[in-house]
């Protein structure tokens, strides 16, 4: 298992070739102290046994797919399921694969680019898919750019599954959160979409105005504001660290795990889009390039 470290005066990023995982993301404060703002293992050897997708690149399709598969161009494709639901790409999604380190650049705007070749019918998905993820740091921003090309029509939905923890506290109740997400993807109890988008205004998950998270917990797919790339902002007064999320994706899954204090912002398409004709298309054709470009901007607040 290989590690790659890139850094600038404000951010240090440690990435693994296994799962294209973000192992550590260190942000420096005004006094020169570093805070690791993601949850991860100190020892890379633990990641193959991780069940939470800590920091991993999730694919070929992030999130849930219903009905044990999907139909594309009049062909049915069956996917591995648990209780009838396909999650995060299957038994061994992209987060459990070794990626190839294609390029590492140090100096101004350092970056690391990794790639993974997913064979036709791997986990049931059609097409030989060449996926890549580029992690780039520029000033106080982390760019995460997922791209993919295929030789046969397929579906694709890639995201990074980092769990953000902005301070050393044992809770996130004191975090302040703002979401620029006017609608929620309505789901059944099993978290599969009904096919409807419902207004967030007035609900428990309405964070259109900045407020403390408190006891609110999330496993919630939101629809972002299609007139703006700004999707979310979160900060901790205890560390003084804030994070802003910008993305070109129409979906944002906000997730708070039960077992440890953290929050995920998974920029992606809607869950089960391959089976939902009214959702943004997840289909990738051979002459197209899939691209998920998201930026995580860190600042210090008082």
Q: Annotated binding residues, as ranges?
A: 161-163, 219
Whether 174 is a known active-site residue: answer: no
Measure the CA–CA gap between 235 and 137, rounded to whole angstroms. Answer: 20
247: which strand partners? 294
Measure the CA–CA gap between 71 and 196, rounded to whole angstroms. Answer: 20
Indicate which residue of 120, 161, 188, 227 is catalytic.
Answer: 161
Whether 227 is a known active-site residue: answer: no
Residue 261 DSSP label: S
Indicate which residue of 122, 147, 244, 266 is catalytic.
Answer: 266
230: which strand partners? 246
Residue 40 DSSP label: -
* Peptide bond before residue 296 is cis, with ω within 30 degrees of 0: no
Contact by Cβ (8 Å): 118, 94: yes
Structure tokens at 232: 């979310």
Q: Between the CA of residue 160 and those of 19, 143, 253, 278, what are the distances in Å?
A: 10, 11, 11, 25
Matching residue, tokens 């192992």: 23
Q: Which residues contact 39 (CB under 8 A, 6 or more apart)?
A: 54, 55, 162, 163, 164, 165, 260, 262
Structure tokens at 115: 């790639």
Structure tokens at 9: 């005066």
Residue 38 DSSP label: B
* Residues annotated within a binding site for beta-D-galactose: 161-163, 219
Structure tokens at 53: 């997708």
Any idea which residues carry the catalytic annotation? 161, 266
């Amino acid at each position: 298992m290989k590690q790659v470290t890139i850094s600038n005066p404000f951010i240090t990023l440690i990435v693994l070739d296994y799962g294209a995982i973000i192992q550590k993301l260190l942000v420096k404060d005004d006094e020169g102290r570093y805070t690791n703002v993601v949850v991860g293992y100190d020892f890379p050897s633990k990641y193959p046994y991780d069940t939470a997708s800590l920091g991993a690149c999730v694919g070929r399709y992030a999130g849930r797919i219903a009905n044990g598969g999907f139909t594309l161009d009049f062909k049915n494709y069956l996917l591995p399921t648990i209780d009838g639901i396909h999650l995060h790409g299957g038994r061994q999604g992209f987060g459990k694969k070794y990626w190839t380190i294609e390029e590492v650049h140090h100096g101004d705007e350092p970056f690391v680019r990794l790639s993974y070749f997913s064979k036709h019918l791997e986990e049931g998905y059609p097409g030989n898919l060449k996926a890549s993820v580029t992690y780039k740091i520029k000033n106080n921003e982390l760019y995460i750019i997922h791209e993919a090309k295929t030789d046969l029509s397929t579906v694709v939905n890639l995201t990074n599954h980092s769990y953000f923890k902005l301070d050393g506290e044992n809770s996130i109740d004191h975090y302040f959160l703002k979401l620029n997400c006017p609608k929620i993807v309505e789901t059944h109890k099993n978290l599969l979409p009904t096919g409807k988008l419902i207004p967030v205004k007035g609900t428990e998950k309405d964070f259109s105005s900045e407020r403390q998270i408190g006891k609110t917990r999330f496993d919630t797919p939101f629809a972002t504001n299609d007139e703006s790339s700004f999707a979310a902002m979160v900060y901790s007064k205890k560390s003084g660290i804030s994070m802003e999320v910008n993305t070109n994706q129409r979906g944002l899954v906000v997730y708070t795990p039960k077992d440890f204090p953290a929050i995920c912002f998974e920029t992606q398409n809607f869950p089960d889009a391959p089976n939902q004709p009214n959702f943004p298309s997840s289909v990738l054709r051979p002459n197209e390039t899939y691209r998920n470009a998201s930026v995580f901007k860190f600042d210090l607040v008082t």
